[in-house]
Structure 1
Amino acid sequence: MEKKKLDMIVQKYLQLKPLGDKDAVAARREYARRELERWRDIFEHGCSDPAWPDGCNLNLIRNHIIAALSDLRDLGENTSGEYVPPEVSSGLMIPAGRFFKVRYKRFEQEGQRLQIAGVEISLF
Structure 2
Amino acid sequence: MTQSPDARPTYKDIASKIREDIERGALSPGERLPTGRELAEREGVHLMTVQNAYRLLRDEGLVVSQQGRGTFVRDPASPVGEEHGGSPAFAALSKELAAIHRTLGDLSERLERLERAADDKG
The TM-score normalised by the length of structure 1 is 0.33
Higher Rg of the two aligned structures: 2
Larger relative CO (CA 8 A, sep 6+): 1 or 2?
1
TM-score by length of 2: 0.33
